[in-house]
Amino acid sequence: MSSHPSPTGGAALMIMRVVSALELVSLVVIVLNRVTIHLPAITSSGGPLHGVLYISTIALALLLPFPRPAKWLAVLPGVGGLLAIRHSRRVARRDAGELDARQSLISIAACRQRDPHRGADRHDGTCKD
């Protein structure tokens, strides 16, 4: 079982989602501006805005109970925060699945201890009658 709590929801995770999405949008705007019309106003305001969003994404990833690889993913510019959230959710689902499987095996073992000739229903872990 994992030593980190599951990042399944909460206000901090919602803020992380919003900041990560805004970071990606800001990077896309800066790059599109650079390769198309190159307006100085977008460059001068978009650059610092993207920088703040980028640093905020990294800080949030460090503060949230994400697994270590997810924290490292957050360092990637533009998509890092979104990848960190995705990775954390996958790890949480995997850990939850492993926990369900362990609980089912424990239930089967308990049934067999009570009566070795009986099994357990594999779907819900209850003892068969």
Q: For 57-111, how does the pLDDT look when each residue is reduced to its tens digit (9 = 90+)?
A: 999 999 999 999 999 999 999 999 999 999 999 998 888 887 677 676 676 666 6
pTM of the model: 0.71
Distance CA 63, CA 60 (A): 5
Which range (26-30, 34-38, 76-80, 91-95) has the least confidence?
91-95
Instruction: Calculate the alpha carbon distances from 112 to 34, 38, 48, 123, 125 in Å.
Output: 68, 72, 64, 16, 12
User: Average pLDDT of 42-55?
Assistant: 97
Domains: count for the chain: 1
Choose between 76 and 5: higher pLDDT.
76
Residue 1 has pLDDT above 90, yes or no: no
> 84 and 7 in contact (C-beta within 8 Å)?
no
In a domain, 68, yes or no: yes
Residue 2 has pLDDT above 50, yes or no: no
Domain limits for position 29: 11-114
In a domain, 101, yes or no: yes
> 32 and 26 in contact (C-beta within 8 Å)?
no
